[in-house]
Amino acid sequence: MTLILASQSPRRRELLEQLGVTFHCCPADIDETPFQQENPNDYVLRLAIEKAQAVANTNPDTWVLGSDTSVVIDNIILGKPESKAHGVDMLLSLSNRKHEVLTGIALVHNDECHSRLVSAQVCFREISRSMAEAYWHTQEPCDKAGAYGIQGKGGMLVRSIEGSYSAVVGLPLAETAELLMDVEIEGWWSWPQE
């Protein structure tokens, strides 16, 4: 059975390719607005499931993998920045502090759904307004939750990480592989041994 990744993220595509899985991409079009009083954990997992279900509804003969990643500080979800000022403010709110990165994954086929929530703790170094503005001008943070990409130039802002690096990038490899194995989707682990 084939697999669809319900995302247009090049980072998620690259991570899934590391697992040796055959798949194609079909981005989901859903409303990502948090519900009033919605807990960040519930929000991230809900979006991962809704993304997978939206694509699965039009592709009933395949498994669909959905994922969502959010940066959370002081129980506030930091989505993608809406402007330079918003992005710089986000970066400054993370300066010299620890924050949580939540990634939800969901594997959906018809009425069957398998999901996981993965949390990592990321500690930023102290950054100045001028550094935050310079980073914004690289254009890397424009489409990233929390206004940074750990896998790129934004990696220099990170002092330490506790938990899954690949989850912070957007797709936790260990947990994704476990879900795929559970439903017998083949990856490099099932290739013939010589």
pLDDT in tens, 101-152: 999 999 999 989 999 999 999 999 999 999 999 999 999 999 899 999 999 9
How is the chain split into domains, by residue range?
Answer: 3-190
Instruction: Read off the pLDDT of residues 12-49 as tens digits, 9 standing for 90 and up.
Output: 999 999 999 999 999 999 999 999 999 999 999 999 99
pTM of the model: 0.93
Residue 191: what pLDDT? 83
Distance CA 50, CA 30 (A): 7
> What band does 87 get if pLDDT is binned at 50, 70 and 90?
very high
| 141 vs 86: CA distance, rounded Å | 11
192 against 90, higher pLDDT: 90
Which residues does residue 77 pair with via DSSP β-bridges, in sequence order?
A: 72
Report the distance separating Cα 6 and Cα 56, nearest Å.
Answer: 9
Residue 97 to residue 117: CA distance in whole angstroms: 23
In CATH terms, is domain 3-190 a member of 3.90.950.10? yes
User: Tokens representing 137?
Assistant: 């001008």
Catalytic residue ranges: 68
Length of the chain (residues): 194
